[in-house]
Structure 1
Amino acid sequence: MPSKPDPPNRKPTADDHDSPWKHALELYFPQALALLTPNVHKAIDWTIPAEFLDKELQAIAIPSKKGRRLVDKLAQVRLRDGTDVWLLIHVEVERRLDGQQALKTFAWRLYEYRLRIQSRIMQQRRLTLPPKIYSLGILLESKGLGPDIFHTDEYQGQGVRFRFPVVELETWRSRWDELESLAPANPFAVVVMAQLQANHYRDKRTRLGPKLQMVRQLRHYGYDAVVAMQVYRLIEWMIALPEDLELDFLQAVDALSKENEMTYVTLIERAGRDKGFAEGQAEGRAEGQAKGRAEGKKEGSLEGQAQFLLRLVQRRFGPQPDDITQRIRTASAAQLETWSLNFVDATELDDVFRA
């Protein structure tokens, strides 16, 4: 589909990499480690769920420079030998680490976080020696830095040397076929592919075709309805389109769903869009159809967001009583947006619903 000219006075759509990465790591933490650091994944006892320590991470947060977006996740896991280990996952949301100074700052950041985490855990547990910390850096677009990065601080024969591994996502571009072969068993492979597409198609007006191709490919992966919905929404989130192309995308997805009887589009969103199309056609006018599509998109998206948030809440905090379920399902779009952002760092259910 040819690109359309930019409408006048419209600001370009900004990529939001930090929020979807936080959600993706929460949803598919074991799968992410299996793909990005398989040796660590093999050492973990996954019969004991990982515990995300977002509140602990906030307590030791390091101020970042203004405007810089960061994704840090701290999780406590149990190794197969019974040892507890804390995993610090840092996603470098900035597109590139430009220059040696940026690289040194990045290395120092992970080292400082390591020290702060160890100090806090030692105090809480009254330990005499620091706990085991595994630090992993994920670089969205930087490449050519090698598998490890070092922080060194040496003077007059004394100092420290801290080495930690990094995953350069761009190294997976040449392994695209491998990602596709892994995707049926590991949804996080699709997350990596979506990020690679967002990296490659920097001009958002060129993304419609590649984004549709990723959605079309989902039907080959055999996901159940819940996973399919989650992955579909992550693709929508990570590969942002200009506002005026969103309706083209939804129409194309709707046509794909009907043509191939695919179930990866959430039924709630689909029902809302179909209702909008039907109402627009009943009015018998082009403007009526456009209005119906917009209303259907709005209704379907709202219900879909509510259902998605409810599943996330149930996954982290367990089954919820009817009043909580009803509260989420009847929330406004603004409330759902606020609660979804709160959920990323929530350690208690009340944290989700804070204003």
Structure 2
Amino acid sequence: MYALRCVHPTIRPRVAPVNPAMVVRALLALLALGLLTLPVLAEGPAQRLRLRGDVTARGDVLTLGDLVEGASPDLSARPLFRAPSLGASGTIQARRIAEAVTALGLGEIETGGRVQVAVQRAARRVAQPEIEAALKRSLETAYGLDGRTLAIRLDGDAPVLLAPVDLDGQATALDLTYDPRSRRLAALVTLGERQASLRVTGLVMEIREVVVLGRQLNRGEAITAADFTLERRPREAVPTDARTGAADLPGQVAQRALSTGAILRGGDVAPPDLVLRGEAVTIVFDAPGLALSLRGQANESGRLGATITVTNPVSKKVLPATVTGPGRVSVGPAPAPVQRQANAALDGAR
């Protein structure tokens, strides 16, 4: 008989042992899964459109990008509404913008509680000073007038030429007509190739720059630089002898009482007297090879360069003299006796 032996069954492990090939396969699977899921995570939820605040339009239309934030570049250029006219403003209801966005298939927009959006149309404003400058240039070219001596009074309220903000260059006056007798003008003020234009009419006035007193002056009172201003006045309203220069005015004295706001005339002020009547003066006698000086008395007052009479206290002679400075006069040489004798001889020979 055979002896029976106990047979022990071999129990195999349920998990296969890890080998290098398995590790490589697992890493490749994880890497593939990461490449597929990372772009999805990066994209995240779609960005929602938001309504902008008040906007300024630079063109004729309002695009999606002008009114809404968050749109793609290609959709941002999509026109939605017409912009107001140049320089004007208006409003757009928020619901109308939302309806336009929905019609493009972009879903809803966040309004932030806004009911409407205010829109301002940008514009270049050519005001009255620039318009007048264009008219003066045209008057100089077409009629030979000096624009520096002209003032233009335009009819009606102060005109303003509105133009697109990207329209550069200075205004030009075209089709100008001017009547020298009535001094009336009419012109078309334009920008660019008549891309913006405004027709104006007005009156041309010739002007002068005159000195106007800023305070009252009494006779004999000296004028200072703070006492007057230079103003441009129509020539018809200015005296013909009105002072136009002011460089030599400070230090001169009023020859009569002058009121505030008066236009200074030629004889209203004069340089101060350097010699007063009855004042002791120095009399200087200059001749070739001879120079004398003595004290004398002025018989009248005089300013610089004026001719007055003085008395020689020694000889009591009255001499004509020229004022040369404060308290100082000059006496020239007397006529030569030879000339008087020649004149007498000529008289006897006749």
TM-score > 0.5 by shorter chain: no
Q: Which TM bucket (shorter chain)?
A: under 0.3
Give the TM-score, by structure 2 length: 0.21
Larger CA Rg, structure 1 vs 2 = 2
Q: Which has the higher contact order (CA 8 A, sep 6+)?
A: 1
